[in-house]
Amino acid sequence: MWPSGLRTITYEIVDPDPLAYRDDMAHASEMLSGFSDLKTLQYVAHFLQGVEGNTDNSHHSRLAGSVRERTTAEESVI
């Protein structure tokens, strides 16, 4: 069912489904394990930033930072 119009946005913290979360993180890892073009790096960085914003896990912060650094390095080569 889709909303019928505008609605108030809440800033509640959503607990991820552990199984879906694990699958998403495994997929992100697979995307980074081989050759990754700039678009892939940007996609994964954006995904990890979203995850980082919804968790207090410092590991995600470091991982998102590493991907951002790799993206910046790729952009400077191009």
- Residues 50-65 have pLDDT tens digits of 776 655 556 666 666 6
Q: What is the pTM of this model?
A: 0.54
- Do residues 67 and 27 lie in contact, with contact meaning Cβ atoms separated by under 8 Å? no
Q: Quote the pLDDT of residue 49.
A: 78
Q: Cα–Cα distance between 65 and 23 in angstroms, integer?
A: 21
Interacting residues of 67 by C-beta distance below 8 A, sequence separation 6+:
32, 41, 44, 45, 48
Ranges of the chain whose pLDDT falls below 70: 1, 52-65, 70-71, 73-78
User: What pLDDT does 12 receive?
Assistant: 82
Which pLDDT value is given to residue 78?
53
Q: What is the pLDDT of residue 38?
A: 84
**Token pair of 76, please?**
């400077």
- Say if CB 48 and CB 67 are below 8 A apart: yes
